[in-house]
Amino acid sequence: MPRWLEYLLVVPAYRRRARRSLRWRLFGSHLLAVFMVPAVVLFLLAAVALIVFSTTHRAEAGAGDARTVARLSVSGQLPRGMGVSGVHSVSFVSPDGRVTESSNPGIVGKQPDQVVAGAAEVVSRALQGSTDLSGNTRQYSGNPRGEVGAYPVHNPGGQIIGAILVDEPASNEVRANTVGRIVAGVSIAAIVGGAIFLIPALIIASILGFERARSISRPVRGLSDAAAAFAGGSLSRRVVVDGEDEVAALGRSFNAMADRLQETMTQQAAERARAESALKANRELVANVSHELRTPVAVIRAHLEAHAEETPPGESEYLRIAIKETDRLESLVEDLFQLSRIESGGLVVEERVFDAAAVVREATESLAEPARREASVTVRAETPAAPTACIGDPGRVVQVIQNLIRNAVRFTPEGGIVLVTVGSEGDKIALSVRDTGAGIPAEDVPLVFDRFYRGERSRSRASGGAGLGLAIARDLIEAMQGTLSVRSVEGEGSVFTILLRRADADAIS
Ordered mean pLDDT values, 10 residues apiece, the chain (509 residues): 48 44 63 66 64 54 76 62 65 90 86 85 89 84 81 87 85 48 62 67 70 72 82 80 75 85 85 77 60 67 72 67 70 66 68 91 90 91 89 90 90 92 91 91 86 55 59 86 92 92 81
Question: What pLDDT is recorded for position 405?
Answer: 93
150 burial type by CB count under 10 A (0-12 exposed, 13-18 middle, 19+ buried): buried
| Its pTM surpasses 0.75 | no
At residue 269, the pLDDT reads 85
Q: In whole angstroms, what is the distance from residue 51 CA to residue 62 CA? A: 18
With H, G, I as helix, E, B as strand and everything else as coil, classify residue 502: strand
Question: Who's near 55: CB < 8 A, 6+ residues apart?
Answer: none
Domains 22-232 and 350-507 share a fold: no
Nearest to 168 by CA among 81, 68, 94, 100: 68
Question: What is d(CA 388, CA 152) in angstroms, rounded to the nearest whole number?
Answer: 128
Structure confidence at residue 328 (pLDDT):
65
CA-only gyration radius of the chain, Å: 56
Q: How far apart are CA 36 and CA 27, in angstroms?
A: 14
Q: Given CA atoms 7, 8, 12, 13 in this order, what sign does their dihedral have?
A: negative
Question: Cα separation of 420 and 382, whole Å?
Answer: 6
3-state helix, strand, coil in the chain (%, to 5): 60, 15, 25
Spell out the domain ranges in the chain. Answer: 22-232, 238-347, 350-507
- Cβ contacts of 376-379, under 8 Å, gap ≥ 24: 376/414, 376/415, 377/409, 377/412, 377/414, 377/415, 377/416, 377/417, 377/418, 378/416, 378/417, 378/418, 379/405, 379/409, 379/417, 379/418, 379/420
User: For position 487, what pLDDT does the model report?
Assistant: 93
In 158-175, which positions are buried (b, 16+ CB within 10 angstroms) versus exposed (e)? eeeebbbbbbbeeebebb
The yes/no answer on whether domain 22-232 falls in CATH 3.30.450.20 is: yes
DSSP character string of 149-163? EEEEEE-TTS-EEEE
Q: Whole-angstrom Cα distance, residue 492 to residue 125?
A: 127
Q: What angle do CA 221, 226, 232 make, to 5 degrees?
A: 130
CATH fold of the domain at 350-507: Heat Shock Protein 90 (3.30.565)
Residue 141 DSSP class = -
Q: Of 276, 340, 355, which is closest to residue 475 (Cα–Cα)?
A: 340
As a CATH number, domain 238-347 is 1.10.287.130
Give the integer Cα–Cα distance in Å for 166 and 80. 14
User: What beta strand segments (E) does 314-450 contain?
Assistant: 352-355, 378-382, 389-392, 417-425, 428-435
Amino acid at 423: G
CA distances 41 to 36, 55, 136, Å, are 9, 21, 35
Could you give the 3-state DSSP secondary structure of residue 241? Answer: coil
